[in-house]
Amino acid sequence: MDFSSFLTSLGTSFLIFVVLMLLFTWLSRRPGNSVVYYPNRILKGMDPWEGGSRSRNPFAWIREAFSSSEQDVINMSGVDTAVYFVFLSTALGILVLSGLILLPVLLPVAATDDNVKAQKTNGSNQTFSEIDNLLMGNVKDESPRLWAFLFATYWVSLVTYFLLWKAYVHVSVLRANALMAPGLKPEQFAVLVRDIPPAPEGQTRKEQVDSYFKSIYPETYYRSLVVTNNREVNKIYEKLEGYKKKLAHAEAVYDESKKTGKSKGLRPTTKIGTLGLVGRKVDSIEHYNEKIKELIPKLEAEQKATLREKQQACAFAFFTNRVAAASAAQSLHAQMVDTWTVMEAPEPRQVIWSNLKIKYFQRIIRHQFVDITAVKTVLEAYLPQIALIVFLALLPKLLLALSKAEGIPSVGHAVRATSGKYFYFTVLNVFIGVTLGGTLFRTFKSIEKEPNSIVKLLASSLPGNASFFLTFVALKFFVGYGLELSRVVPLIIFHLKKKYLCKTEAELKQAWFPGDLGYATRIPGDMLVITIALCYSVIAPLIIPFGVVYFGLGWLVLRNQALKVYVPSFESYGKMWPHINARVLAALILFQVTIFGYLGLKKFSSRALFLIPLPILSLLFAYVCKKKFYRSFCDTALEVASRELKEIPDMESVFRSFIPPSLSSEKADDDHFQDALSQVSRSGSFA
C-alpha cells in the first residue's frame, strides 16, 4: 500500500466518522429516539435529557462524558464498567507515555538513515513507500542507532509495568469499596454448597443441609434453598409466559382495529397447526385464554413436584451476616474435600441453574477437557480465510456455550472464560495469522531451505504489515466507534419493529432494550489493538498515535454509551481485571520477544541480549501481581465483609431473591416451599 492510498483510506474513515457523529447529534435530539439513545437513564427513571443533552451543540455529549466521574459510572453502570474504563485509560496511558518519548526520538533516528533508499538502489525487488522511511526498517544493519530502539523497548516495558501496577491497585480499591458498600447485596449473605452427600435415612435433603450448617454455625446460619432440576417447570413457565405475551399482543391488535375501522373491531385469528401456518383458524384471544387456563394448574402441579421430587445435591445456604458468609465460602467444610464443597454464591440473576448439580470430579474433567482438546484444537488450527469470517460471527456464542459446558455456575464467570478464549483466538489467528500470512508466500521458499525459528519469522514479517495494521486500527476506531455512537443499526431495527411488530408496551420495551456492553467480545477486540500497538510501537512508532486515538475515542464514546445506553446484566465487581492484566502482560512479552528477534535480523544480536531480562521481568511482574492481588479477586476479604450495613438486612427478601421466577408463586405462600426450602430460624431475630 503506497502513501496516497493509505491517506485516502484514512480520510474516508474519518469522513464516515464525522457523518455518523453529526447523524448522532441530529437523531439523538428527536424525542421518539430517546429510548434508543438514553435507555439506561429511562430504565433508572431519570430524565433522558438531564444535563443539557438536548442542546444544539454537537459536542455537548463530549463535555458530559468528560465531566462524569468514576462514581457516576459506577452508579449508572456498575463496577465492571468502571473497571473497563480503568483498562481503557491504562491502555491510553501506556501509549501516550510511550509516544512522548518514542515519537520525538525514534522517528528522526529512522528518518535520517537511508537503508530503504540504499536497498532500492541496490535493486531489491521489494516495494517501499514513504511510510517506510519512518520505520525501524530504514535503519541500517549493525547501526549504533539501533541502541535507541533497544532503549525504547525498555521504556515501553517500564511504562507498562508502572501503569498496570497503578491500575491493579486502583481496581482492587474499587472492588473493595463496592463490596464493603452498605447497600444490601443478597449474594453477600449466601454461599453455594455443592457435592452434598446422599441424605441419611429418614432425613430430607433440606433437613440434612440445615442440621449440617446449624451445627457449624449455630448463631449465624439462617436457612437453605435446595437447588431443584427446573427443566420441566421452566418449559411450562416459558410456554405460559409466551401465551400471556401472545394474548396481550392479540388484545392490542383487537383494540387498535376497533379504533381504526368498524365500531366492533376485527377479532384477530390464529391457526393452531405447525408454526401457526396450517390448521384450523380460531379466535386468538379465546384460544390463548384457554391455553393459559390450562397451563396455570399444570405449572402449579409441576412446581410442587419439582420442589418435592427433583431436589439436587446442591443448595444455597444463607447467613445472617456478611462475614460469616464470606468466611464460609473460603473454608473447607468436610474432611473429604470432594463433599460439601462451598463457594461464594453468584448474583441471583447470574446463576446458571443447570450447572449447579454437576459433581466435583466431573467439573474438573469438563474444565480440563474443554480447555485441552476442543478449544485448543479449534483455536490453534489454522483456518481458511473464508471459513474464518463465517466462524468469527458465530465464535462468541460458540465459546460462551463451551464455557458454560465447563460447569461454571455463574454467567459472569462464563463471560470471563469466554473472553479469555476469544482473546487467544484473536491474537493467535488474526494477528499472527495475518502477519505471517502476508509474508508467507514471500518467505515460504526460504523456510523450506533453512527452517527459521518462529520468532525470526514473526519479526521479519512485522514491518511489512505495518501499514495494514495502521489502516485496520483506523478503520476500527473511526467506523466502529462511529457506528457505536450513532446506534444507526439498533435505531433502524427499533423503528421497524415499532411500526410492524410491536403492539404492547412489553414488546416495545423488548425492542429498545439495549443489553449490556458485551465484555466477552469487546475486551478481546481492544486487546488485539493494544497487542498490535505494543508490538509495533518500536518498529513502527507511527502506530502509537493511532492507538492513542483508538483508546481515547473509545473512552469517550463508551463513556457516553455507559452513562446513557447500556444496562449491565450482571455485576462481578471487577473480577475481570486479573485476566486483563495477564493478557496485557502476554502482549508485552510478545512485543519483547519480537523486538529481540528483529534486532537479531538487524545483525545486532550480541547487543540484543540486553533485552533478555525483559521477558523475565514481565513474568516476575505477573507473578508478583498474582501473589499480591489475585486472591482478593477470588475471595472476599473479611475486613471488607465486616463493614457495617446501612440497615439490618431483611433476610426473607435476601432469601427470596434466589428463587427462580418459574418457581416463585405470586401468592408468596410459605407452605408452597415447604418441601425444598428450609424453615430454620425463620422467625428468629437477626442482628
Judged by CB, which is closer to its own copies: 627, or 667?
627
Distance (Å, whole) CA 676 – CA 308: 6
Distance (Å, whole) CA 288 – CA 245: 9
Judged by CB, which is closer to its own copies: 79, or 326?
326
Residue 213 CB, shortest distance to its own copies, in Å, is 10
Task: Give the count of residues interacting with its own copies (CB under 8 A).
Answer: 40
- Decide if residue 188 touches its own copies (CB under 8 A): no
- Decide if residue 621 touches its own copies (CB under 8 A): no
Judged by CB, which is closer to its own copies: 361, or 513?
361
For cell 533485552, the residue is 611
Judged by CB, which is closer to its own copies: 66, or 369?
369
Residue 611 CB, shortest distance to its own copies, in Å, is 23
Instruction: Report phi then psi at 509, rounded to 5.
Output: -60, -45
- Decide if residue 616 touches its own copies (CB under 8 A): no
Residue 489, all three cell numbers: 443499526
Q: Are strands 190-194 and 311-319 parallel, antiparallel or unpaired?
A: antiparallel
- Decide if residue 86 touches its own copies (CB under 8 A): no
Rounded to 10 degrees, the C-alpha dihedral 83/85/88/89 comes to: -100
- Decide if residue 642 touches its own copies (CB under 8 A): yes
For cell 401468592, the residue is 667
Residue 215 CB, shortest distance to its own copies, in Å, is 6
Instruction: Choose, by CB under 8 A, the member of 49, 610, 630, 686 that binds its own copies.
Output: 630
- Decide if residue 388 touches its own copies (CB under 8 A): no
Residue 562 CB, shortest distance to its own copies, in Å, is 25
Task: Give the binding range for its own copies (CB under 8 A) out of 30-38, 321-329, 468-476, 561-569.
Answer: 321-329
- Decide if residue 636 touches its own copies (CB under 8 A): yes
Taking alpha carbons only, the member of 134, 318, 339, 362 closest to residue 226 is 318
Judged by CB, which is closer to its own copies: 326, or 599?
326
User: Is residue 60 helix, strand or coil?
Assistant: helix
DSSP 628: I
- Decide if residue 332 touches its own copies (CB under 8 A): yes
Distance (Å, whole) CA 410 – CA 518: 16
- Decide if residue 327 touches its own copies (CB under 8 A): yes
Residue 632 CB, shortest distance to its own copies, in Å, is 5
Per DSSP, helices labelled H in 136-283 are: 146-179, 205-216, 231-260
Edge to edge, the sheet with strand 221-228 lists 221-228, 311-319, 190-194, 341-344
For cell 465464535, the residue is 395
Distance (Å, whole) CA 149 – CA 399: 39
Sign of the torsion angle spanned by Cα atoms 223, 227, 228, 231: positive
Q: Which residues between 201 and 230 bind its own copies (CB under 8 A)?
A: 212, 215-217, 219
User: Is residue 282 helix, strand or coil?
Assistant: strand
Residue 216 CB, shortest distance to its own copies, in Å, is 4
Judged by CB, which is closer to its own copies: 221, or 591?
221
Judged by CB, which is closer to its own copies: 68, or 224?
224
* CB burial readout 113-134, b (16+ within 10 A) else e: bebbeebeeeeeeeebeebbbb
User: Is residue 678 helix, strand or coil?
Assistant: coil
Judged by CB, which is closer to its own copies: 175, or 287?
175
Judged by CB, which is closer to its own copies: 97, or 334?
334
Distance (Å, whole) CA 659 – CA 640: 27
- Decide if residue 581 touches its own copies (CB under 8 A): no
- Decide if residue 681 touches its own copies (CB under 8 A): no
Instruction: Choose, by CB under 8 A, the member of 73, 192, 326, 535 that binds its own copies.
Output: 326
- Decide if residue 631 touches its own copies (CB under 8 A): yes
- Decide if residue 328 touches its own copies (CB under 8 A): yes
- Decide if residue 645 touches its own copies (CB under 8 A): no
- Decide if residue 579 touches its own copies (CB under 8 A): no
- Decide if residue 639 touches its own copies (CB under 8 A): yes
Distance (Å, whole) CA 24 – CA 19: 9
Helix (H) or strand (E) holding 313: strand 311-319
* Helix pair angle (613-625, 577-601), 10° resolution: 180
Distance (Å, whole) CA 632 – CA 634: 5
Q: Taking CB under 8 A as the rule, which mask of x and - marks residues 153-182 in contact with its own copies?
A: -------------------xx-xx------
Judged by CB, which is closer to its own copies: 245, or 333?
333
Q: Which residues between 459 and 478 bind its own copies (CB under 8 A)?
A: none
Residue 35, all three cell numbers: 429510548
Q: Are 517 and 78 in contact (CB under 8 A)?
A: no
Q: Taking CB under 8 A as the rule, which mask of x and - marks residues 267-306 in contact with its own copies?
A: ----------------------------------------
Q: Are 319 and 687 in contact (CB under 8 A)?
A: no
| AA letter at 306 | T
Task: Give the binding range for its own copies (CB under 8 A) out of 75-83, 184-192, 356-364, 486-494.
Answer: 356-364
Instruction: Choose, by CB under 8 A, the member of 335, 606, 683, 685 that binds its own copies.
Output: 335
- Decide if residue 638 touches its own copies (CB under 8 A): yes
Q: Are 502 and 41 in contact (CB under 8 A)?
A: no
- Decide if residue 501 touches its own copies (CB under 8 A): no
Q: Are 233 and 308 in contact (CB under 8 A)?
A: no
Instruction: Choose, by CB under 8 A, the member of 334, 352, 479, 488 that binds its own copies.
Output: 334
- Decide if residue 360 touches its own copies (CB under 8 A): yes
Judged by CB, which is closer to its own copies: 216, or 489?
216
* CB burial readout 592-608, b (16+ within 10 A) else e: bbbbbbbbbbbebeeeb
For binding to its own copies (CB under 8 A), which residues are involved?
Answer: 172-173, 175-176, 212, 215-217, 219, 323, 326-328, 330-338, 340, 360-361, 364, 624, 627-632, 635-640, 642
